[in-house]
């Protein structure tokens, strides 16, 4: 899989779902004016922008492991402290933030428990750590149609349901293993209208994440077969794609 893509490509692929998710997740994490917040694995900044609208650029810091995304975030939020760093090795002091969040990131941490433990370390005592992950194991993520089509063509396709946090209760277990208490988990659902099939399909060809890497690995004939299978599975446009994520918050 790859996230070494332009920020604009990620925006068009996942941003169409992560942007409407951001205010719901920020509410879940109880982010409000006056708090200091760290956004871990911010990507192209859907959540960063929402947090900044609540606490100001100076109130939000960022840790982002991809060079291109980190550079884009510095341009978009010049008043924020943006560091190039992975979740497992956060370059911030103990007890530095009121809230630490990671939207749609846990499955792609090299070590999710270590990443969550670091998020707790930099959060003040009794502060909040919160994450959310698409329900790819339950087939209610916004990527479900693409993976369903792929499995119809090749039953051996693995999809993303095996990734960390991708099923109900998984984040709660990871939070407990990372040493956090008072863990609460619940689903959050977004709905996005696509005016045409091409509007939905084209961003899958940008090579973003596991689904983009899978499509890029196909030859032309198999890619076209996947495209047409997706078309048959989806309603006539305009159509609405819903996506559910499991969200968990705990106390550092």
Report DSSP state, residue 108: G
Report DSSP state, residue 43: T
What number of other Cβ atoms are within 10 A of residue 209's Cβ? 21
Domain ranges of the chain: 7-138+160-190+241-251
What number of other Cβ atoms are within 10 A of residue 26's Cβ? 22
178-202 residue pLDDT tens: 999 999 999 999 999 999 999 999 9
pLDDT at 174: 98
pLDDT at 5: 78
136-186 residue pLDDT tens: 999 899 999 999 999 999 999 999 999 999 999 999 999 999 999 999 999
pLDDT at 6: 85
Query: How many angstroms separate the CA atoms of 195 and 192, rounded?
Result: 10
Backbone region of residue 169 per phi and psi (left: phi > 0; alpha: psi in -120 to 50; beta: other values): left
3-class SS at 131?
strand
Report whether pLDDT(205) > 70.
Answer: yes
Q: What's the pLDDT band for 7 if we cut at 50, 70, 90? A: confident
Which residue blocks in the chain are alpha helix, DSSP H?
7-10, 16-28, 46-55, 67-76, 112-121, 144-153, 170-177, 197-201, 209-217, 220-233
Q: What is the pTM of this model?
A: 0.96
Query: How many angstroms separate the CA atoms of 226 and 137, rounded?
Result: 20
85-129 residue pLDDT tens: 999 999 999 999 999 999 999 999 999 999 999 999 999 999 999
Query: How many angstroms separate the CA atoms of 123 and 38, rounded?
Result: 9
3-class SS at 77?
coil
Q: What percent of the chain has pLDDT over 90?
A: 96
CATH number of 7-138+160-190+241-251: 3.40.50.150
pLDDT at 139: 86
pLDDT at 2: 53
Q: Average pLDDT over the chain, rounded to whole? A: 96
pLDDT at 1: 45
The two tokens of residue 167 are 């099923």
Sheet containing strand 60-64, edge to edge, reads 81-84, 60-64, 37-40, 97-103, 123-134, 239-251, 181-194
The two tokens of residue 85 are 């760093």
Report whether pLDDT(11) > 70.
Answer: yes
pLDDT at 108: 96
53-90 residue pLDDT tens: 999 999 999 999 999 999 999 999 999 999 999 999 99
DSSP H/E element including 184 = strand 181-194
């Amino acid at each position: 899989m790859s996230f070494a893509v332009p920020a604009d490509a990620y925006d068009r692929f996942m941003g169409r779902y992560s942007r409407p998710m951001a205010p719901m997740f920020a509410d879940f994490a109880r982010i409000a004016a006056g708090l200091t917040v760290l956004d871990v694995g911010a990507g192209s900044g859907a959540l960063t922008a929402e947090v900044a609208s609540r606490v100001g650029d100076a109130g939000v810091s960022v840790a982002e492991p991809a060079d291109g995304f980190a550079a884009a975030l510095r341009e978009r939020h010049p008043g924020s402290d943006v560091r190039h760093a992975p979740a497992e090795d956060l370059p911030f002091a103990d007890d530095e933030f009121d809230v630490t969040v990671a939207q749609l990131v846990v499955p792609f941490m090299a070590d999710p428990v270590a990443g969550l433990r670091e998020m707790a370390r930099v959060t003040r005592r009794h502060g909040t750590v919160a994450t959310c992950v698409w329900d790819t194991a339950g087939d209610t993520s916004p990527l479900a149609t693409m993976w369903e089509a792929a499995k119809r063509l090749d039953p051996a396709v693995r999809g993303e349901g095996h990734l960390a946090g991708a099923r109900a209760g998984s984040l709660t277990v990871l939070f407990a293993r990372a040493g956090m208490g008072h863990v609460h988990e619940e689903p959050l659902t977004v709905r996005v209208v696509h005016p045409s099939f091409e509007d939905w399909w084209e961003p899958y060809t940008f090579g973003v994440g596991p689904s983009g890497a899978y499509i890029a690995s196909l030859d032309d004939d198999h890619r076209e077969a996947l495209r047409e299978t997706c078309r048959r599975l989806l309603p006539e446009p305009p159509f609405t794609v819903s996506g559910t994520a499991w969200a968990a918050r705990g106390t550092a």
